[in-house]
Chain A
Amino acid sequence: EDQVTQSPEALRLQEGESSSLNCSYTVSGLRGLFWYRQDPGKGPEFLFTLYSAGEEKEKERLKATLTKKESFLHITAPKPEDSATYLCAVHFPLFNAGGTSYGKLTFGQGTILTVHP
Chain B
Amino acid sequence: DTEVTQTPKHLVMGMTNKKSLKCEQHMGHRAMYWYKQKAKKPPELMFVYSYEKLSINESVPSRFSPECPNSSLLNLHLHALQPEDSALYLCASSRHSPGQGQDEQYFGPGTRLTVT
Contact = CB atoms under 8 A, between A and B. Distances in A.
Contact of B88 (A41, A97, A101): A41
Contact of A104 (B98, B107, B108, B112): B98
B80 interface: no
A34 to B, nearest CB: 6
Contacts of B110: 41-43
B46 to A, nearest CB: 10
- The majority secondary structure among interface residues of chain A is strand
Interface stretch (B14-22, B37-45, B61-69, B70-78): B37-45
B98 A102 contact: yes
Interface residues of B, number: 29
Contacts of B108: 43
Interface of A: 31-32, 34, 36, 41-46, 49, 87, 89, 91, 94, 97, 100-105, 107-110
Interface of B: 2, 4, 6, 41-45, 48, 55-56, 58, 88, 90, 92, 98-110, 112
13 contacts: A32-B102, A32-B104, A43-B6, A43-B90, A43-B110, A46-B104, A49-B104, A89-B42, A101-B99, A102-B55, A102-B56, A105-B105, A109-B42
